């Protein structure tokens, strides 16, 4: 009889182990690298919700960490580029201030302009790197390493361990129920079954409470992660945009200065070999009649576009910028032309403009 009881006990243990294996296989994997069983529908939903939250917050944490690492690498590389650019600007300004050519100081001016512009660009890049560090990496790093996230994750892991205890206790209750059914006369077995069932109920109650607490904490963390990450990405984009806008303005100004200098160099050197322009009766008034020796062509009034800049040497001469339009009223055989630009009349070298037959109405308005 004793041998039969021992054999039956071994069979029950074998069945319990097989049942546990089946539960682990079909009960679903847990977020804490554990396999758990399904107790009831409400608990299952709670478990699935917490599992999704755990996965979501973990993914967001990794994404935030990737952003921090990427921005930190960008800052390190950018800092080295700032050092190189600053050295280039210093060398350019040094050349511009210490070197002059016998044919003029055009290159020196260009070097100074380039050096100043480069220094401004590197300053803007430094501001960008500083903004990325304070507005992007520091808040995200604080979120990744902060206590709220770790506390919420610990709650979820405690819930997972408690769920495993419920699993083990459920198997224990099943085993004791089987023993009571086989040997109902043993009062000790009944007492142990009641104790096991009471313990199981306590574990389930604690698990439900802890699951709700963990789910609430994880949900709050998920919201914070989503909001903070989006805000930091927007801050990064805004910092980049501001930087590129400032650099664009610096480059446009530099380009304008260099093009103006190049146009001055390439302008026809005719004014130096020309006689003085005919006089005006009054500055910016109606020009005087020409002397008998001064002859003019008969081209009549027409519009001309300024191709080269010209700075007048007297009050009776016009200052012209490239792209301006001039109403040409008179052209002398000596190479001077008389006309009006931007409400001011005066003389200028005719070779500095080109005649235009068709001009936009907006450009004509600028002449007057």
Q: How many CB atoms lie within 10 A of CB 47?
A: 23
10 vs 247, more confident? 247
CA atoms within 13 A of residue 162's CA, in its CB half-sphere:
22
291 — pLDDT class (breaks 50, 70, 90): very low
CA 251/CA 95 separation, integer angstroms: 20
User: Could you tell me if residue 33 is left (phi over 0), alpha (psi between -120 and 50 degrees) or otherwise beta?
Assistant: left
Contact partners, residue 187, CB within 8 Å, separation at least 6? none
Say yes or no to pLDDT of 79 above 60: yes
Contact partners, residue 37, CB within 8 Å, separation at least 6? 23, 24, 27, 166, 167, 170
Q: Of the ranges 72-86, 114-128, 218-232, 270-284, which one carries the lowest mean pLDDT score? A: 270-284
12 — pLDDT class (breaks 50, 70, 90): low
Q: In this structure, are residues 57 and 149 in contact, taking their beta carbons and an 8 Å threshold?
A: yes
298 — pLDDT class (breaks 50, 70, 90): very low
pLDDT tens-digit series, residues 233-243: 999 999 999 99
C-alpha distances in Å from residue 324, one per residue of 274, 306, 307, 320:
23, 5, 8, 7
CA atoms within 13 A of residue 256's CA, in its CB half-sphere:
9
pTM of the predicted protein model: 0.62
**Average pLDDT, whole number, for the chain?**
81
C-alpha distances in Å from residue 287, one per residue of 71, 127, 180:
67, 56, 128
User: Could you tell me if residue 336 is left (phi over 0), alpha (psi between -120 and 50 degrees) or otherwise beta?
Assistant: beta
- The pLDDT score that the predictor gives to residue 274 is 73
């Amino acid at each position: 009889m004793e041998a039969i009881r021992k054999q039956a006990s071994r069979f029950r243990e074998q069945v319990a182990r097989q049942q546990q294996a089946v539960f682990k296989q079909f009960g679903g994997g847990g977020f804490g690298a554990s396999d758990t069983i399904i107790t009831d529908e409400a608990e299952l939903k709670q478990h699935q919700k917490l599992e999704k939250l755990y996965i979501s917050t973990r993914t967001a944490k990794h994404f935030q960490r990737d952003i921090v690492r990427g921005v930190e690498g960008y800052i390190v590389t950018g800092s080295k580029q700032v050092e190189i650019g600053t050295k280039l600007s210093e060398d350019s300004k040094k050349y511009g201030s210490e070197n002059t050519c016998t044919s003029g100081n055009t290159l020196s001016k260009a070097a100074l302009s380039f050096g100043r512009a480069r220094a401004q660009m590197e300053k803007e890049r430094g501001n960008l790197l500083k903004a990325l560090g304070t507005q992007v990496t520091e808040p995200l790093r604080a979120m990744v390493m902060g206590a709220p996230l770790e506390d919420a994750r610990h709650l979820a892991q405690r819930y997972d361990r408690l769920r495993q205890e419920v699993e083990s206790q459920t198997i224990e209750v099943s085993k004791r129920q089987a023993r009571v059914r086989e040997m109902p006369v043993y009062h000790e077995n009944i007492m142990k079954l009641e104790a096991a069932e009471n313990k199981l109920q306590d574990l389930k109650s604690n698990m439900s409470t802890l699951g709700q607490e963990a789910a609430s904490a994880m949900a709050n963390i998920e919201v914070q992660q989503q909001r903070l990450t989006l805000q930091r990405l927007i801050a990064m984009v805004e910092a980049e945009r501001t930087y590129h806008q400032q650099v664009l303005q610096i480059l446009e100004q530099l380009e304008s200065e260099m093009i103006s200098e190049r146009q001055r160099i390439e302008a026809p050197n005719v004014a130096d070999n020309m006689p003085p322009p005919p006089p005006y009766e009054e500055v910016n008034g109606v020009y005087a009649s020409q002397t008998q020796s001064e002859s003019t062509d008969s081209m009549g009034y027409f519009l001309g576009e300024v191709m080269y800049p010209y700075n007048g040497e007297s009050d009776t001469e016009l200052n012209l910028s490239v792209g301006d339009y001039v109403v040409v009223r008179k052209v002398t055989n000596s190479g001077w032309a008389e006309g009006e630009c931007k409400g001011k009349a005066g003389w200028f070298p005719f070779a500095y403009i080109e005649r235009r037959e068709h001009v936009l109405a907006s450009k004509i308005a600028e002449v007057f």
